[in-house]
A and B are shown apart, each in its own frame.
Chain A
């Protein structure tokens, strides 16, 4: 693991909403489902 150094911690992150690629979507990430 020399290139990025020692392990520090684990993170679970949601995809960012901004800034985004074209069509205002991160490719491969489904739109949130609205609960009715």
Chain B
């Protein structure tokens, strides 16, 4: 998430790109210098494309849960040329559909955003003013370690969903 413009952003957990606001997310390749991006169609034998898992279990089985910030999980729409794999897809185009779960950054428990309490915290990187990072915590860890205002987290998540035109749950 990137509050640089005063709003919140979704960031991919696979390649760390920001999801564009109200525009399709398009697969691209980067030049060796890293300066130029070019739209591409994911090839059969390439590693290109926007990655999505088939199921929540597939995602949880492969995602790095050691991320100290916590992570949101949700559904996405994918279209265009799609390379289907055993546990997921590499797509040419994608857009988020909904946010459904969070991974607590302390205990790594999976929290349903629709039916369980949670909190979201913020802290700035020390070396840059450009980005801030979010911490997602379950109710138990929040009460034990942080005492963050849960209402603030709900409001921020609602604002994020509204910016993208997506749903929660």
Residues of A near any B CB (own CB < 8 A): 1-16, 19-23, 26-29
Contact = CB atoms under 8 A, between A and B. Distances in A.
A25 to B, nearest CB: 9
Given A11-B84, A27-B95, A4 B24 contact: no
A27 B23 contact: yes
B83 A7 contact: yes
Interface in B59-87: 62, 77-87
A29 to B, nearest CB: 6
Contacts of A19: 97, 167
B65 to A, nearest CB: 13
A34 B80 CA distance: 21
B79 A13 contact: yes
A6 B22 contact: no
B46 to A, nearest CB: 9
Contact of A26 (B20, B24, B47, B167): B24
Contacts of B101: none
Contact of B79 (A3, A4, A8, A14): A14
A5 B82 contact: no
Nearest to A11: B82
